[in-house]
Amino acid sequence: MPIWNLKIGREVVIAITKGELRFGPWEQIFYGEFDGVRRKRVLIKIIGE
């Protein structure tokens, strides 16, 4: 596991209310490639109603 994963993380949990992403005043999503280009996979898990 690259050191970047330990510092930055590789998962994000986002609340969605009425079809809109609910971010706090200092929250945002940033994606960075630090170890070269490779295939990516996105997993979306829906929990709740």
H-helix or E-strand containing 4? helix 3-8
Q: Residue 2: which pLDDT band, with cuts at 50, 70 and 90?
A: low
Is residue 12 within 8 A of residue 29, CB to CB? The reply is yes
Q: Compute the distance between CA of residue 11 and CA of residue 7 in angstroms, rounded to an integer.
A: 12
Confidence check: pLDDT of 9 > 70: no
Q: What is the pTM of this model?
A: 0.48
- Give residue 4's pLDDT: 52
Q: Residue 37: which pLDDT band, with cuts at 50, 70 and 90?
A: confident
Return the bridge partners of 17, or none. Answer: 20
Query: DSSP letters along 16-30, please?
Result: EETTEEE--TT----
- Give residue 24's pLDDT: 85
Q: Residue 28: which pLDDT band, with cuts at 50, 70 and 90?
A: confident
